[in-house]
A and B are shown apart, each in its own frame.
Chain A
């Protein structure tokens, strides 16, 4: 092979071009960033690069490759979203991008995308505009169009190019959900032309670019779906069926709260009904429309909030370095203990899982296996990784193996005396440095720490159930908790993949504290004779994953009753439980786990209709009077957000950001509403206070507005002042 003199890099910023023997290799390596992102500067440089490829006659083909270890291109820089002050601005940006990618697609020379690592959003849309795509056979290589997760739609031609490349149903599956597609799957569906080992990616890409330039290789159409797929997708009538099904499916999932997936669907459909060019125009128009929706703004906020939380040390400066956690001890192999073990082993932590009897330990191990097995079944891990994860957890009924635990998490029975006993016992066997974390959901950590000889090592780690699915971790610090303990616990929580908020100690901490008045209010609606299904439907429509009564059945009526009593004890009349819940607790119903609750459950625990017989236990009996959704939502949601304001006032949470993240990720507060504080801001504090006062007149004193709200209303303040992102 002859080598001509390498051309000088055009601009010294993110893209460098080297030309060997007529093939330009363009390397994207955004300086000072861990991943490649697309922004206005990169776009400008990208344009210049296309100019060069167009002009330079010595170049016959090109390869686009990333200089980052695990990312091809992660998509658009989310800061660009903040520039979308009007639909027109966003639409214009989309059009500009589309035109550039059109240029890439029809460039004089063929461009091959050499993809290793995450290829997301705008990154995938670039790849789609390339003449040929090669992906590496590597777990880090994933392809996705996650735009809908930020409330927008692909805006650089993704809605038009993807369905034409991989078929309508494959494309809709990606575009409407934003889900990841692994390299092998991408190759199987024809999204990638080749699947190669990372070590040969560059060489193969260069060879293919040359062959495409020489005309010795044509892209083979590898659209998957078979004959049946073609019958369905290759004619207007078949496509109409696909579109109608997709719309139905999307509405079912979004309950009408998220407009972006429907807009994306419309853009795809438009391109088929007319042509690609008009599809692109529609895509840009809809992108502009979506970019300024309230939903998108809230989802973008959540993204920024999560990102800023990841960088938050959680303690006042100077923050010490977190200590490594290589081995943890877990006390209690029940649902929570096993759940924590199941996420710990996935991060390579050695786990010692203790319970009182072998039978309970065995059940815990079975639960760990079930979680890990699901990952194997979904091919997210290999058989070897599966075996390794199970080998990392060792069961025991004594304290052997705790002698080198860096962290002990207790998940024993919610009883202070039991917690004190295990704390005293375990402190005898662990080194002085070992952190003791309680997974209690109700007992103040300060009280647990009273039994400790080293209260500076005691902290709360409140995981949510089921641990492997719920993204939130509340880390609860007491005045005695050391900074070292706090930063180490936070770092480990993040390693487990959790979004961590640091809260101060107090009954119910944050999440359960704001949940309590909400559940109580739902109970009081029952006391007044509201039908169970009306309450659940109203709040599901508001955007909660399930209504409050279903939630009580899920977490356990006994558990909810116990937590309610603790909260009532701590906060008095404001948190007094409803008569209805108390009656049902007394009757011994436990909800789904006991297959007897507010709803009916079959043998497998599958939920059925409301169990009408439960009304016999309630104050107004089977006599139910309809209640309108607005009243239900107003009372329950205001009870919750008012309490959230109090937690900020009391210093339980540090910022509204933590409160919003905690509510969205911990208890399913509707993400498209941004969280309790964002919700109050968007409704206006004055309006919230007005509603609370009106309710408080009717139901004193539980709707007494939080002082902070009264003050803010007077001063016309917001939790997030205009112009502040998080």
Chain B
């Protein structure tokens, strides 16, 4: 793989070229065509849902939450890596983050966008969603503040807003670069508007650095808060398998776990296609895998403590639930979860695997699957057998459940492809800065 010495000049040239000079290949069109089909399918699924009601999904009594919530938690989880990398690692002076932070931030935004769809769609009467928002209405009513769903509204929207602003601020200098390097006037204008008249003056840089740092500080607690709040949707309830104090940390760990899995799932192909192996080097893969390994172990600890508590609490319902997960009608879900989230990541102890793209790619895919299965286990398997045997039941996703899920994946990738095509996926300015500061190749 080519290792050229990076100077500011070459960096700007190469990275902007990815967007500006590189001809749009047939491959790109095929990819976006496929993913956009997913978007169309999503539209059909949503229209049908609004037309007939949430009954088109498989939900029922007792399993009143199904795919919608599973997907919501899954996407939100994926949406964690970006801000974690760009904010927390920035504060921790992890310079390796620079090559991938832009990319992961974008991923975060798109994932959260997909996630945010579900709470809306899963409402029985989505057209009155605004009842969840505090506003002076004609009924003199407020939301019911004790409900975690209300906290969700704030947590998710705040997280999305901050991530968006953070991402955009980071983009400004690069948009300026694009503006200056673009050849056609209208392209210049478009990037120019985004660049907000950035001239790279010392004053600009000073303010930029300050703003960026402040936002990082602001985003950091959010990374931890969002999924904690999401986890409260479950742990506040009295249901065995939900009512558990370990949920917040265990959800956050799981989120970062799945987030990094998705980062790898995307990075590995992209760096290959766009020949960025030297910028996104083995070191990045190695470090990302290490984070995965660490968070994966935390998640494993979470599983372990759940089972332990079930036994230790001697609470019959908890005990039953633990066994029901392993041996009940939904046993494959539990075993998938354990295989993908606990066993498979153990391979990452070996450096060889951590730096070889293909195995890493496969592992990351498996982890994504495993995390979805975990959420399915938490939502569906806990609900389908609760307290009174008389009300036990089963749940199966209908074709519309799957269509909606697949549709959001399509949406996610469509946005992703547009992003790499229209914006610099590697933060040029930061890399330049780094090369100058460190004076050595990235």
Same complex for A and B? Answer no
Binding site for B on A (CB under 8 A): none
